[in-house]
Structure 1
Amino acid sequence: MQIHLLQLNSQGEPSHNLSRIRERLSPLAAATTPQLVILPEACLHMASGNWAAQAEVEGGPWQTALAQLAGELGLYLLAGTLPVQAEDGRAYAASLLYGPQGQLLGRYDKIHLFDARVGDGQRYRESRDTCPGEQAVVIDTPFGRLGLAVCYDVRFPALFQRLAEAGAELIALPSAFTQKTGQAHWQVLVRARAIETQCFVLAANQWGQHADGRRTWGQSMVVDPWGRLLAQQNEGEGLISVKLDPQLISQARAAIPVQQHQRAIDAALLIPNKTEGA
């Protein structure tokens, strides 16, 4: 399985970002085997201002441009996230998988929204202009069953467990992890999710300083079902390419069959017993 992760330093102008993506991916057009490319979160719209103000309708022009790129290059392309209009006036952070004929194969809307102050001089409040998704998504592909998650989702193991229960073998994680939290938590979270689910985790991140002043961490990486780091790019824009051995999935799951050992936990066990007379 030939997998590529594109680490970007996306800026405020979508046409510039699309041009950079096209430049980086064009060499893959000569491939004779199926190729899967993962773009980072906000691949075209890493701009200051309101995410919803940049939104387009489903099937809008920027979605069409990335679908056409997938068709031109003849590859499977996961288009990070794009702002797609929601009924409440906000926008979904939609992760869209396109096939080698430019066809839409699946969509995941980011569920967990980043409302946090991490001490880097920025205030993050995604819920102000981003509408959360509600459904976990797993898509059948020639590379295996592909689960979808986005950035802040990595801090919520229950979502990844749900993807594993639905048969995921690979999990894509387009991200724009902040420099501060990335330095502290990025690698350990990505590796933990791979170990827990016994899936390949394909984590494509933004890197560097962006138009709104924020800084992202980079270190895009591919982690195998045993938690081993197969490939990474710490800094700068660039394409990570790696061939995955699907036997590593069955080997990890045979060695430690955690899905078979999963047990329901009685919520009552989480309530401390009260001392008599207290």
Structure 2
Amino acid sequence: MRKLLYLLFSLASIAALVTYALWTADRPAGHYLSDLRINLAVDQGIPADQGNLLGIQPELFPTDYQSPERLHRKLAAYLQAARDQGFVNEKTIVVLPEHIGTWLMISGEKDELYQAGTLKEAMNWLAVSNPLAFIRALLAAEGDKRLDDAYLRMKAQGMAHEYQALFGGLAKEFGVTLVAGSIVLPEPSVSEGELRIGPGALYNSSLVFGRDGRPLGQPQRQQHPVFDQHEVLGSERSDTPHVIDTPAGRLGVLIGSDSWYPVYYRQLNEQGAQLIAVPAFVLGRDTWNEPWSGYKGLSTPSEVSLKPGEVSEGQAWHRLTLTSQLPISQAKGGVSVFLRGQFWDNGSAGQSFISHGGQHFPDGEARGARLLNLWL
């Protein structure tokens, strides 16, 4: 009798494991209608043969990331709308927002993940649907927030490939230089024209793709992750911002709150940067109008007199982002582009703006996809 019970239990366990394995392998793609509309928010300057900076503030949701094809369809629609309005040419530099590549971590997942009510629930589905990858990532995770580290690390190889294929493909398809927002990857680097990952810490990094779709230089790693990310992300505070030659001029990239530090503008000046792209992201639906909380646990630069609570988050971004503000920045123009949308219970804030001649030209709308153009 005992042997029979043991046999039945073993068969039931095997059946359960087989069922679970089949469930994890099933990735049905549900029908989804995406809003492909985008409105022109800012058009500054006069068209000439110098090129232009074109910021694209998308409005994205988890289902946009169900496959790279879906995300391509949406971003290509935005770029096509810009082309139809005359904003795309061989000297155009397109700038996308911070973390637009990071959410590739949820690409190709099960419907239950996209239908989750909270980010925590969605991440639970991510782990349950990819048990072996999650366990390997958890064993390699670093720091105090090992779960968060594992979620970001578990699909890193595929994310790096999809990031290059998607954004490099868009750059080649539309014949533009493209600042591909940012993506969180472990020790990212470019080798033999391919974005690769390493075994070390996670970095929030941005890569620029040329008109041929190939990477230009090495990934720019964020040097000052904000307070709610610095326990998970590494920082490169000894790293000088890269400057890249583009058809429209020498371009520097400052990710998110790196744009708050005057020292980086001086370093870009020394390298002759003429243009600055700031991919950015602000968490929380109403954060933009709430009191600014300061440098979020990091030391305030000596040149900055702004105190926490003195202005709103949005006003702080306008005060601290110094693109094209002499004498600290000698760049002739810049654009700050924010990721907008809703990721489960996490909303987003941030209103993109153009910087030119020491002035900011903001998008005054809080919702919807937006185009911001600066003729150079």
Superposition TM-score, scaled by structure 1 size = 0.74
Is the contact between residue 58 and residue 85 of structure 1 (CA under 8 Å) also seen in structure 2? no
**CA 220–138 in structure 1, closer or farther in 2 if over 3 Å, else same:** same
1:205 CA drift (Å): 1.0
Q: Which runs of 5+ in 1 are unaligned?
A: 116-123, 245-278
* Map 1:94-243 → 2, pairs under 5 A: 94-106=205-217, 107-115=219-227, 124=228, 126-133=229-236, 134-178=239-283, 179=287, 180=290, 181=292, 182-190=313-321, 192-195=322-325, 196-199=328-331, 200-208=333-341, 210-224=342-356, 226-230=357-361, 232=363, 234-235=365-366, 236-243=368-375
- Flag the structure with more relative contact order, 1 or 2, with Cα contacts below 8 A and sequence separation at least 6: 2
Post-superposition CA distance 1:52-100 (Å, at most 9, x none): 3453379522222210111111111110001222245442212111111
Counterpart residue number, 1:52:
153
Partner of 2:345: helix, strand, or coil? coil
Partner of 1:56: helix, strand, or coil? helix
1:10 CA drift (Å): 3.0
CA distance in 1, matches of 2:344, 2:271: 38
Is the contact between residue 78 and residue 96 of structure 1 (CA under 8 Å) also seen in structure 2? yes
1:239 CA drift (Å): 1.4
Is the contact between residue 82 and residue 371 of structure 2 (CA under 8 Å) also seen in structure 1? no
Is the contact between residue 12 and residue 45 of structure 1 (CA under 8 Å) also seen in structure 2? no
Post-superposition CA distance 1:214-261 (Å, at most 9, x none): 33323211111x3122453532211112212xxxxxxxxxxxxxxxxx
CA distance in 1, matches of 2:157, 2:231: 17
Is the contact between residue 276 and residue 323 of structure 2 (CA under 8 Å) also seen in structure 1? no
Counterpart of 1:215 in structure 2: which amino acid?
G
**CA 138–113 in structure 1, closer or farther in 2 if over 3 Å, else same:** same
**CA 85–201 in structure 1, closer or farther in 2 if over 3 Å, else same:** same
CA distance in 1, matches of 2:330, 2:358: 8
Partner of 1:197: helix, strand, or coil? coil
Identity level (%)? 24
**CA 61–128 in structure 1, closer or farther in 2 if over 3 Å, else same:** same
**CA 188–212 in structure 1, closer or farther in 2 if over 3 Å, else same:** farther
Is the contact between residue 10 and residue 44 of structure 1 (CA under 8 Å) also seen in structure 2? no
**CA 88–135 in structure 1, closer or farther in 2 if over 3 Å, else same:** farther
CA distance in 2, matches of 1:43, 1:233: 22
1:104 CA drift (Å): 0.8
Is the contact between residue 243 and residue 273 of structure 2 (CA under 8 Å) also seen in structure 1? yes
Q: How many residues align?
A: 232
Is the contact between residue 41 and residue 175 of structure 1 (CA under 8 Å) also seen in structure 2? yes
